[in-house]
Amino acid sequence: MSNFFEKSDLSRKEAESIISDTLQNCDDGELYLENSKSESILLDDNKIKNSSYNSDLGFGFRAISDEVVAYSHSNEISKNSLKQSSENLKSTLKSVKGTYNHEIPKSNKKYYDNINPIEQKSLNEKIKILNDVNDYLRSKGDKVKQVTANFLGEQKSIEIIRSGGETLSDVRPLVRFNVSVMVEKDGRKETGVYGVGGRQSYDSYLKDENWKSVCDEALRIASVNLESKPAPAGEMKVVLGPGWPAILIHEAVGHGLEGDFNRKKTSAFYNLMGQKVASEGVTIIDDGTIDKRRGSLTIDDEGTPTEKTVLIENGILKNFMQDRLNARLMKTRSTGSGRRENYRHIVLPRMRNTMMLSGKQTQEEMIKAVDKGIFAVSFGGGQVDITSGKFVFNCTEAYEIVNGKIGSPIKGATLIGDGPSILKEVSMVGNDMMMDPGIGTCGKAGQGVPVGVAQPSILINKMTVGGTKL
């Protein structure tokens, strides 16, 4: 736990009184304090290229009146600085006549331990693993031309002080371990990337030389791509593998179901509540409560405990994801989805772990059902235009399907689809739901936050594949 006032000329009592004074006629708001420590250790090109440590401290002060948000942040926790922020907020919200909403739900549940993963493993041990990764992969043959591996670790302590002095706090560990390998054969180069992570110690992921399986997976993807042919271009059937390909769900429907876009009516989904937006058998939830997952949170960045929110149930749109501001304006409750990258940013409704639940079919049945199409196993990133509903994601491992059989690997291609209609094209839902390995970061309005995804294998009847082969 951080004591934010320990080395400051500002006492907790004085801070509370400035907060209550500033927010007295506002509808909502809080002081958000954050202390984060993070490290990055990178091996690249046979060397430890970078070892860096970051310590970040600051506050963000927010006042809300009706729809208007006033925000001010600084990294100086001092009397002067907080007073200046207060003046700033007051000058934006000149004549406010709201009633502060003191209500905030409580929960005793915690989804991760209060640990600092950076301190749990010495620098020398981390360097040794990175060097072992390099040696291990380079021992796999001459075709391995480049190896990059890194550790990213973080501990973020936050405290939220609301008007009247109510205080909520959380300590969040987060780690990630990544391996990228480039292989070359006959002048052709391809890369493969794989990683693992979540909200626990590095050792939980790497014990018993588990890092070898991360290396093997990265090398497998790179090697498959060496044999890849140009991808086809045009509309066809697509089978998605389980796990990480669920970034399709994240892009295609996740963003469009965030409260802010629907309150502003700029999402393609804003008028579809209660309507059928997906095939029967498709259920999608956004869950912040899965133990130690990358997208999980004990409380969100407004202090609301997270929950399991049903977004689409058996094809019907049930809920949007809400922070306090959008929930109040849409006359509903916060789903514990209010998140921010750090104290420099305002809160927005965001995803946590977005998952499509298992159905009954097998992946084999899906492949058999395709005459001509592709089988997509692994992905890079994705993006969506929430207004038109169009979304893309990039395959990093995919195969052609010909007459019900998996054929040759195909080169990386972008797949494009339409969010509100794509889930109606899902004709089979697999029985093999899998979580992603814990590496996702979602970007929105310039803010990156850690998220998770999960899905079973699915068959989509029609999607446009952006290859080069006509």
Interface of this chain with other proteins, residues 451 to 470, rule: CB under 8 A: 464-470
CB 40 within 8 A of CB 152: yes
Site for other proteins in 119-148 (CB under 8 A): 123-124, 127, 145-146
Among 32, 112, 211, 393, binds other proteins (CB under 8 A): 393
Site for other proteins in 155-214 (CB under 8 A): 182, 188-191
Query: Closest separation between CB of residue 5 and other proteins, Å?
Result: 13
In degrees and rounded to multiples of 5, residue 11 shows phi and psi of -90, 160
Residue window 351-390: x/- pattern of binding to other proteins, with contact defined by CB under 8 A: -----------------------------xxxxxx-xx-x
Asked if 330 is part of the footprint of other proteins (rule: CB under 8 A), the reply reads no
Count other C-beta atoms under 10 Å from residue 142's C-beta: 9
Site for other proteins in 262-281 (CB under 8 A): 264-266, 268
CA distance 192 to 194: 7
Q: Which residue lies nearer to other proteins by CB, 55 or 108? A: 55
Asked if 448 is part of the footprint of other proteins (rule: CB under 8 A), the reply reads no
Q: Which residues pair with 316 in a beta bridge?
A: 276, 313
CB 390 within 8 A of CB 417: yes
Q: Using CB under 8 A, which of the segments 88-96, 109-117, 136-144, 211-219 binds other proteins? A: 88-96
Asked if 44 is part of the footprint of other proteins (rule: CB under 8 A), the reply reads yes
Per-position b or e across 164-198, b if 16+ CB within 10 A of its CB: eeeebbbbbbbbbbbbbbbbeeeeeebbbbbbbbb
Instruction: State how beta strands 405-410 and 390-402 pair.
Output: antiparallel
Asked if 219 is part of the footprint of other proteins (rule: CB under 8 A), the reply reads no
The CA–CA distances, whole Å, from 467 to 402, 410, 415 equal: 16, 9, 9
Site for other proteins in 293-312 (CB under 8 A): none
CA distance 435 to 325: 30
Q: Which residue lies nearer to other proteins by CB, 127 or 273? A: 127
Asked if 14 is part of the footprint of other proteins (rule: CB under 8 A), the reply reads no
Q: Using CB under 8 A, which of the segments 149-157, 363-371, 412-420, 423-431 binds other proteins? A: 412-420
